[in-house]
Structure 1
């Protein structure tokens, strides 16, 4: 039976007001408004996203290659695509916390709407128009970083702040994520580097297939022109205003962010 006691819209309104500065940021959602499972968290997240604006992308990840993935929809106001060879500049004042991660992001070249028959991995891969280097800025609408339960954080767009999309390749099938090296530099110094894939979820194609078949259903499926970022390859590095961040995927592409 449906859960009639939990009100996702009240929870979403509180997160929206905190983001907009219309109320102090809470340490967590009040107990009565706190999601107790993933279904409730997604109901809150969907309400937040519908109020916030047009969906421009998604983030998807998992704790291990066997773990159930989790997702967040990203709205147009938090996704920036860098002009070729250029950096993206974002105001640091727009974030409560700035945790940066190097990630691989996939560009959808075709719609993957909800349907009865599940999409195969080959169909999902064929729908991708490019794969690129990206930087996610992790943030929170709460008063402290990572002090909430997992479902409160999932409701809060899974701690999403901004996504910066850099350069990459249109030859998606040729990209081999599991052997792809990555470097994350902060102010010209390498903060994290891996000789091969550093994402605990394993193959990002599994995440993309799950998102197409299950994760994106409640918000209408995946659409051409959207971006899907597939989780951190470097962990989260907390930075300060004035920082220059570069995510470099040698042989594939790079993304550069200036927090001004």
Structure 2
């Protein structure tokens, strides 16, 4: 069996981004068969796209292994309006994000919970739009989705809160509305339960291959509302009482 072709997988994903075309699947011989291969492709794409500006991290359960993807400045926004032409699909998610004020280089670790939190400058309400470089969202295998930036489209940040220490993300209320209709209104909701566990994992393991977490990078910690697929034109609003709110019009 020929070796797995990281470069061919990365090239296919990069071409799909640049041409706005959609892949039915990654090429034969370039479909990752393990987490390690998926991350190798993801990292190759990340290095080609330029400096890492942030991360997305999540986990399907309270004790489940986390997963991550590096994000770049061209998909991180602080705006309330984006064109529909940016998206193939629009999967709305309300999330909590953290912007780091200090580097956490891998060689200085390991970091405990308090050390990671001490490096955080601000906490933000956020909307992530899930999207894909593949023709049908979720139709390819999980490793290929991981390689494709874990289905990241864009991240929209609300205003940062510097006095965030009194907020507990596990018990944080959240409300998501689409076109004025409330789709979710509850407490918590993150499948990982505790987002801070994800930050600690990212600092110690997840970000290691791309230089660790750096000052100025933002880390979004997974959906508190699941994923709601919507069509443009639409207005999505996420409210986190005590933390703040963020809204996005896609038209």
Q: Same fold (TM over 0.5)?
A: yes
Tell me if the contact between 2:8 and 2:27 (Cα under 8 Å) persists in the aligned partners.
no
Structure 2: which 5+ runs fail to align? none
On the 8 A contact 1:168/1:254 being kept in 2, the answer is no
Q: Distance in 1 between matches of 2:13 and 2:210?
A: 19
Instruction: Give yes or no for the alignment of 1:256 onto 2:247.
Output: yes
Where 2:106 maps in the other structure, the secondary structure is coil
The total of aligned residue pairs comes to 251
The answer on 1:219 being equivalent to 2:207 is: no
TM alignment of 1:165-180, pairs within 5 A: 165-180=157-172
Aligned alpha-carbon RMSD (Å): 1.4
User: What's the counterpart of residue 207 of structure 1?
Assistant: 198
Alignment of 1:29-178 (within 5 A): 29-82=26-79, 88-115=80-107, 117-178=109-170
Q: Is the 8 A contact 2:126 2:157 kept in 1?
A: yes
Aligned to 1:242: 233
Question: After the TM superposition, which of the residue ranges 153-162 and 47-56 deviates more from structure 2?
Answer: 47-56
Give how far 1:30 is off: 2.5
Structure 1 window deviating more from structure 2 (176-185 vs 24-33): it is 24-33
**Counterpart Cα distance in 1 of 2:88 and 2:109:** 42
The alignment partner of 1:27 has SS state of: coil
Distance 1:4 1:107 in 2: 42
State the 1:168 CA deviation. Answer: 4.2
Give me the whole-angstrom Cα distance separating, in 2, the residues matched to 1:190 and 1:151: 33
TM-score with structure 2 setting the length: 0.96
Aligned counterpart, 1:10: 8
Cα distance in 1 for residues equivalent to 2:52 and 2:2: 27
Deviates further, 3-12 or 218-227: 3-12
CA distance in 2, matches of 1:160, 1:104: 15
SS of residue in 2 equivalent to 1:198 = coil
Distance 1:150 1:43 in 2: 14
Structure 1: which 5+ runs fail to align? 83-87
What is the CA–CA distance in structure 2 between the aligned matches of 1:11 and 1:98, rounded to whole Å? 24
**Alpha-carbon distance, 1:213 to partner:** 0.3
Q: 1:33 deviation in Å?
A: 0.6
Deviation per residue, 1:4-39 (Å, 9 max, x gap): 8112121010011112227x4222212311001111
- Deviant stretches of 4+, over 2 Å: none
Q: What's the TM-score once normalised by structure 1's chain length? A: 0.93
